[in-house]
Structure 1
Amino acid sequence: MFAALACVAMAAQGESETDRPSGASGLRVSGFGSIGLAHVDAPVGWGYRRELTQGGSDSRWRHDVDTRLGVQFNYSVSSQFELVAQAIARKRGSYAGGSDTLEWAYAAYRPTADWTVRIGRVNLDAFLMADYRNVGYGFMAARPPVELYAMLPTALDGADVARSWFQGNAQWRAKLMLGTAQIGDFHTAPPGRVRDIVGVMMSREEAGLLVRASASRTRIELDLGSAQAAVDALGQLGSLPIPPVADQARQLRERLGASDIWATFLELGLRYELGDWQWSAELVRISAAPLVRQLSAYATVGRRLSDWTPFIGYGRTRDAMPVTPLPAWQAVLTPVLGPAGAAQSQMLGTLITDAVNRSRVQQSGWSLGTRWDFHPQAALKLQWDRIRVDAGGPGLWTGADVAAAKAHVATAVVDFIF
C-alpha cells in the first residue's frame, strides 16, 4: 500500500499524527524527492504545468514539471510537544514569495494519544492527498491528477485540531481547520488569499477502504494591482445609457474585479488499498460566483504484479461559469465617445474578455502508466497522458489561447524517500 508505505518510511516527517512512542525526543531529519523528465506535445506556445504555482514553459522536453526535493526537521521537545519544519525546492511561478519554499512550519501538541493540536503553517487537510501530494513515492501515478490538484492550495497558515478513535475495527478521524491560504496563478499575477477559512474533515478507514469528506467556507481576496484601472474603466462603461454595452461591461467588471467574495469547497474522497488492487477517486466542488463554479473529479485504479503496478486514470474539471462572448462595442460607442474613445473601449473589452476566458478551466485527461518499485525506498514511474482542453478552458496552461486543443504528455520520474 503506497500511501501506507510512505507514511511508515517517513514517520519522522509527521505524516502520522498518532501512536508516537512515549517519551520520544530529539531531532530527526528525513526527506523525499523526485527526478522527472516529461515530453509535452501541445499546440505551439502552450506551457504544461502540474499546478498553478509553477512557472510556465512551452519547451517540448521538461525536467521541471515533477522534479523536486524536500527535507523535513522534526524536533520532539517531549512526548507531547513537537516542532516541525518542511522545505521543498521545486519550480515556482514568478510571483511566488521566498517564504513559499517553507511548506510546513508548526508546533504540535498531543495532550493524549487521540488528540492533536497544530499551530503554524500546516497541510490543508481538505483533500485526499493533502498529506503527501508532493511526496511522489506515496502514490501510484507520476503526479496528482492535474484536473483537480493543480488548482488547490497546499498549506494553511493557522491551526487545526484533530481527534482519532476506533469503533470496532474502523478508525475514525475528525479535524477542524482555521486560517488562511494562498490561491491563484503564480505565473501571471500575485497570488490571492483565501481568508477566514473554517473547515471540517471526517474520515473512516476499515479493511483497506478509506472514505472521507470535507467542507470549507472561506473568503477570497485577490490582488487586483494593475487591473484596478481596467476595473474602473469598466465601471464607467457600465454607467452609460447604452444597454448592450453597459450590461456586458458590468458583467466583465464583476468577473475581473471579483474580490472579497465567499467561497465553499466540498470534497468526497475514496481510497481502497487491499491485496494487489489499489484505487482512489475524489470529487471536489468549488462555488465562488461570479469568479468560479467548478466541479472536478478523478479516478485511478492499479493492480500490483510483483514489483510492477500498471494503472489507468481519468480526470475531468468543468467550470459552470459561461464563456464570455467578445464585445462588439465600437460601432455603438463611436457616436458617444468618438472614434478614438470607441476604439480604446473596444480594445479594453476584448483584452479583458480574453483574459477572463483564458482563466477558465475546462479540461479532461486519460492517464496510462506503470510503477516499478526497484528499491525499498525508490520507484520508477512511466506515464502517458492524453489531454483534451475545451474551447474557453485553458486555465491550467501558460501561453494558451481560448481555442479547443489536444495534448499528449509522456513522463518518466524516479521518486525516492530518505
Structure 2
Amino acid sequence: MNYETGFETRDAGTIGFVADGEGSTSSGRRKIIAAVVALAALILIAYVVFGRSGTAPTDENEQQLPTVTVVAPGRTTVSGQIVATGTLAARRDMPVGAVGEGGRVIAIPVEAGDWVRQGQVLAIIDRSVQSQQAQSAAAQIQVAQADANLAQANLDRSLKLVERGFVSTADVDRLTATRDAAVARVRVAQAQLRELQARNARLNIVAPAAGLVLERNVEVGQTVAGGAQALFRIARGGEMEMLAKLSESDLANIGAGKTAKVQPVGSEKTFSGQIWQISPTISNADRQGTARIALPYAPELRPGGFATATIESGAVVAPVLPESAVLSDREGAFVYIVDSEGKAKRRPITTGAVTPQGIVVTEGLNGKERVVLRAGGFLTEGETVKPQMAKGS
C-alpha cells in the first residue's frame, strides 16, 4: 500500500518534472525572440546612424547652405551722366544805383518782379533846385548872346569907318577881340546849361538794359547819393543760370556746349540748359570748380534757390549693377562674387554714374562674374553658398 503510494508519488514527481521542463523550454524561446528583436532594433539603429552617412550627408549639407541670388551683369552702353548740385542765379546780374549827385526819392514806378525796358525810369529824384539852376543857365545864355550881338554890331560899324579914316586899325582889332570874347561867353553859357541838363537827367535812376527786376532796395522819401549801395538788381534779359559745383575729375569730363537737365528744389519740372562757361580755377576749400549752365527764364527758376543738374558726359560701355548689389565700407565700394567652387569672394570696384538702370561699374568687373544681388552684407569672405541666377539674367 505504501509502495503504491510511493510509486504514485514518484509518478507524480516525474510528471511534475516533465511539466517543469516544458516551462523552461517556453521561457527560452521567449528569450530568443526578445534577443532577435533587440538585434533587429540594433541593426535598424545602426542603419539609420551609419547607413546614411555614405549617401545622405551631402544632400543634407547642400540643403543647409545659404541660397543667394546672383546676376551676370554683362556690359552695357550707358550715356555718361554727372549729377551735381548748386545754386540758381541771374546770368547777368546788374546792380543799379544812383549815378548823379542824388537826392530825395519822390516816386518809384516799378516793383520787384516787373519787366523793364532799357532806359525806363526806375526811381524819380526831386529836382526842384536843379531845375532852377538850369533856368538860370538858360538866362545866362541869352545875356551872353546879347553881348555878342552888340559886340558884332560895333565891329561892323567900325569896319565901315576904317575906309574913311575915322577909326584906326587898332580900334578895329580891339572891337574884334571884344566880339570874339562875347561869342565865347555864349558858348560857355551853352555848355553850362547842357551840363546842368545832363546832371538833371542823371538824377533819375533808369534801367541800363532790358530785363527782370529782381530786387528793389529803396523807398519813397529816402535820400540817396551817388555811389551808394545798389538800389535795384536786374537780370539782363531775364536770363538765368545754375552754378553747378563739380569735382576736378568731373570737370575734366565736360566742356562748354554740353547739355544739362536742371531741376529746382521743390519743383517737379525739369529745364534744359547748356554749359556756357567752366571755372578756370579750383577752390582750395573743397577742391571743386563751377560749371555755369545757361537757362531761359521761367518763374520756377528763382535766383538764390538750390537745384540739381544732370549733365551729359558721353557714352561708356561698362557693367551696370542694381544698387542692392553694391556695398561700401572704409576701404571703398565692393561687391561679392561667387566663384566656380561656390565660395563668396569680395571684389573691390570703382563706381561711376548712377543711371535709371543702376550703378555703372567703371573698374573691377568684366561683366562675366556671378555677382551677389542681395544680402551681400550678411556674407563673409570664403563662405560657401548656393548660387541661384536671378530671373531674366
Q: TM-score, normalised by structure 2?
A: 0.17
Q: Which has the larger radius of gyration?
A: 2
Q: TM-score, normalised by structure 1?
A: 0.17
Q: Which has the higher helix share?
A: 2
Identify the structure with bigger relative contact order (alpha carbons < 8 Å, sequence gap 6+): 2
